[in-house]
Amino acid sequence: MMASETSSASAGAIKTGDFANVGRAAWWQRGFFASQTAYVAAALLAIVIVMALMSPAFLSAGNVANVAKNFSFIGIVTLGMTLVIVTGGIDLSVGSVMALSAIACAMAMQALAGTGLASVPFATMTLAIAAGLGVAVLVGLTNGLLVARVGLSPFVTTLGMLSIARGLAYAVTEGRGQTPAGPDIDAFYAFTDGTILGVPMAVVYLLGLAAMLGVVLHHTAFGRHVFALGGNEKAAALTGISVERVKVSVYVLCSLSAGFAGILMTGWLGSAPANLATGYELTIIAAAVIGGANLAGGMGGPAGAVIGALLIEVIRNGLVLAGINAYWQIVLVGMIIILAVLVDRLRSGRAA
C-alpha cells in the first residue's frame, strides 16, 4: 500500500515539475466545498426545494417542527457516532442504549417519587436523568475498554452490546413500557419536550451539541488525536498519544449521546417502551456516512452528522406527504447511502 501511494505521489511530482502547486486548487475544490458534506448539503437543498414545490404542506410550520424534532433524536446520536467513526470504530449498540437509558431514567423517577427527595425541587428529575446517563456511561465504558484495552473488534463488541442492552431493557421491565412520573414530571416534559422561542428542545440540544463537537474536534488536542487515530493509529501511538484513553472516551461520549437522546424521546413519547429506538443504529450510521464520515476512519464532522440525519428525515417525510408506501422509504434511504459514498468516490477518483 505504501509503495503504491509513494509511487503515485512521485508520478505527480514529475508531471508538475515543482511542489509549489500541490494542493493549490480553486476555492470550490478545496476545504468544505470539496467535501462530501457539501455535496450532500447541496442535495438536501435541492430536495427541499423540489418538495416545497410539489407539496405546499412540506414547508408549513407544523411539518417543519415535526421534521425538526424527529431528526434531532437521530442527529444527536449521529454526533456521537461520528466521533467513533472518525477514530475508525463503529458503535452498533446505540439503539439499545437509547432504550436502556430511557428506561433507567423513567424507573428512577418513579422510584424517587416515593422518597424524601420528592419535596426538593427538581431533585428527582435531576437524579433520574443522571441515572439514565450513568447507565449510558457504563455501557460506553464497557465498549471502550473491550475495544481499546482488550483489543476486540468494535463491530463484534458493540454487536454483542446491542443484544445485551436490549435484553436488559426487556428483562428489567418485563417487556412493559415505563412511564416517567413524580413531582417533577412537568419540569421533565419541559426539559425534554418543551420549546424555547418556539424551537423544540431537541433541536436546541442538537445544535448546541453540534457546535460543541465542532469546537472539540477542530480546536482541542483531544479532537486532533481523534483524527490522528483514524488517520494512522500506529503513528498516533508512536508520538506518545494515549490511544487507549482517546478510544475509551469516544465510546463513552457516543453512548452518552445515545442515552441523552433516549431520555429526550421518553419525554416526547410520554413513556419508555423496551422496544424504543429498535433498529435506529443503522439509521444513525447511515446518517453519519451520508454526511461524510468515512468508515475507514479519519474523516467526518458535526455539520455532516446534522445534514446526514436531516436528509434522511426530509426524504422520509417527503415520501409520506407524497403518499408513497412507507416500505419504499427504506429502499430509498439505502440507495441514498450508496449514492452519497459513490459520488464521493467518483469525485476523489477524478481528483487523483
Partner 1 sequence: MALLELRGVGKEFGAIRALGDVDLAIEPGEAVGLMGDNGAGKSTLVKIIAGNFAPTSGSIAFDGQPVHFTRPVDARDVGIEVVYQDLALADNLTAAANVFLGRELRRRVGPFSFLDHGAMNRRAGELFAELKSETRANDVVRAMSGGQRQAVAIARTRLSDAKLVLMDEPTAAISVRQVAEVLDLIRRLKDHGVAVILISHRMPDVFSVCDRVVVLRRGRKVADKAIAQSSPEEVTALITGAKEAA
Q: Would you count residue 6 as binding partner 1 (CB under 8 A)? A: yes
Strands (E), the chain: 195-196, 199-200
Q: Would you count residue 235 as binding partner 1 (CB under 8 A)? A: yes
Candidate ranges 12-20, 205-213, 264-272, 330-338; the one touching partner 1 (CB under 8 A): 12-20
- Structure-block grid coordinates of residue 288: 453519519
For partner 1, the binding residue among 15, 20, 198, 279 (CB under 8 A) is 20
Closest C-alpha to 216, from 89, 73, 79, 93 = 79
For partner 1, the binding residue among 230, 291, 292, 302 (CB under 8 A) is 230
Coil, strand or helix: which one is 196?
strand
CA distances, 139 to each of 33, 77, 174, 196, 328 (Å): 37, 15, 20, 32, 34
Coil, strand or helix: which one is 19?
coil
Among residue numbers 198 through 227, which ones bind partner 1 (CB under 8 A)?
Answer: 215, 218-221, 224-225, 227
Is residue 287 within 8 Å of residue 74, measured between CB atoms?
yes
For partner 1, the binding residue among 62, 240, 279, 323 (CB under 8 A) is 240
Is residue 165 within 8 Å of residue 258, measured between CB atoms?
no
Q: Would you count residue 228 as binding partner 1 (CB under 8 A)? A: yes
The residue written with cell numbers 416500505 in the block is 327
Q: Shortest approach of partner 1 to residue 235 CB, angstroms? A: 4
The residue written with cell numbers 451539541 in the block is 209
Candidate ranges 125-133, 141-149, 186-194, 237-245; the one touching partner 1 (CB under 8 A): 237-245
For partner 1, the binding residue among 160, 194, 214, 231 (CB under 8 A) is 231
If you ran DSSP here, which 8-state letter would residue 178 be given?
Answer: B
Q: Shortest approach of partner 1 to residue 350 CB, angstroms? A: 15
Q: Shortest approach of partner 1 to residue 284 CB, angstroms? A: 23
Q: Would you count residue 236 as binding partner 1 (CB under 8 A)? A: yes
State the Cα torsion 221-89-266-210 to the nearest 10°.
40
Q: Would you count residue 304 as binding partner 1 (CB under 8 A)? A: no
CA dist., res. 295 & res. 225, Å (int): 17
CA dist., res. 77 & res. 284, Å (int): 7
Comparison of 39 and 222: residue with beta carbon closer to partner 1: 222
Comparison of 2 and 61: residue with beta carbon closer to partner 1: 2
Q: Would you count residue 245 as binding partner 1 (CB under 8 A)? A: no
Q: How many residues of this chain bind partner 1 (CB under 8 A)?
A: 35
Q: Would you count residue 18 as binding partner 1 (CB under 8 A)? A: yes
Residue 228 makes CB contacts below 8 A (sequence gap 6+) with 235, 236, 239, 241
Q: Would you count residue 299 as binding partner 1 (CB under 8 A)? A: yes
Q: Which residues of this chain interact with partner 1, rule CB under 8 A?
A: 2-3, 6-7, 9-10, 12-14, 18-20, 22-23, 215, 218-221, 224-225, 227-228, 230-232, 234-236, 238-241, 298-299
